[in-house]
Chains A and B, each alone.
Chain A
């Protein structure tokens, strides 16, 4: 018992590594939300009329919607009129090329370990970097264009590929889907757009890096990924933000469309600022991510490593419409100090012989609350559906909480749905064993946690997996005495 108390008393958070602020001039719109602000966002982005109409429609819908309160989260009231909905790094007037990236910005991404060109070229990853509300640089566009792959910012996609955007945007997450998706549809500023044409295997990992920099600003990016018949792409997403005392809002929407015989792998390492050890500040991360396997034999896989944000509300989901389509969700969610996470997935089985697999690994430390919430739904027509779910929770200390809310809705008798759940603690015996072999306690905790999360980490692309492993250890530093 005294050991447990000691662990708890010693809980302090390691300084957040990415908490710096880039001193760069930003153009912002006044705070608050109104039709006027939405018109100004649309105008700043030189959008066509139809896009503005869609935004306004979403805004009007949003006004009628109540805040979702069903999650196992304590969310302080948010004043949506206090948020700045658009901020962009100011472009120097003397730069002619739009592609020229401000050295300060480049420095920011270098600091984050995201060099936009040379190193990524070596690693073979194409990057779209989004700072505050706009995309600042997309690499490798020409190489990708040779294969007919489109990878650009959402703003450009709206201007240059309106037919594709019209066809797919909002087709998986309609604007009225939920409170935050409606808000996003009204004010989204930028994000990435990716289209892989029929039969093309994307030759490199595509990656978007999101950074919130400006104070008082919300980030509302929108990502749309379309894999046409027989296409393949692996997509990575990373996120960080400065340390600020205030809470900042992040309400993104990601939509993925997977056509017949196509495959999309979407990996996230989410490391938004989690707030300090007393629970002050941090990002509110209210994200809607959903993909549809539209055609037969389509495959969609979500892998997420969630270590940041003060509050996380996120359920990357798969609609398995095509026959024999496959949905997967692999998640590690780590909460420390006063962080709260309510995350999981939805697997909606519609097609015949559809299969889904859910592996969720929650890790709670400090006074944090970590919930898994998942829905497995099998509609009457989904003959032969299969689901396997595994939800594990690991507790560090005795002031944190882990919760599992599995919802299972099966309407076809041929379905086989399995659910396994475990809850464990890092035992004093494990720590003693590691210590006795010469490992320090923090190193031991990092090792045990990474071992626990291994099954999910193994699903990440190599370079991401290494980063995620380090991140898990760092996020727990100081959590054990």
Chain B
């Protein structure tokens, strides 16, 4: 199964949900189930799509998140108040969850919800 390699960064306190580590290198499959399920076993029986940010968010929830999923996700995407940047660009300019990830992409998640 071919994979792509990504760099994930956290800021604004979000790292606290991810083992208090600010930076990760991860590999994700380049083809993933359309329903974003992350158990790779029955991939062959499912409709697939090229890996996108929606899948990445589910992958992070299922494989990297250590606690309190409600502070990271809401309704199949990141919780409002979490900023996402793809290669330093606001994901709102990149198609948000539908952005198709490329090998070497850097995705940054920053919480705006912590004290000022």
On whether the two chains bind one another, the answer is no
Measured CB to CB, the residues of A under 8 A from B are none
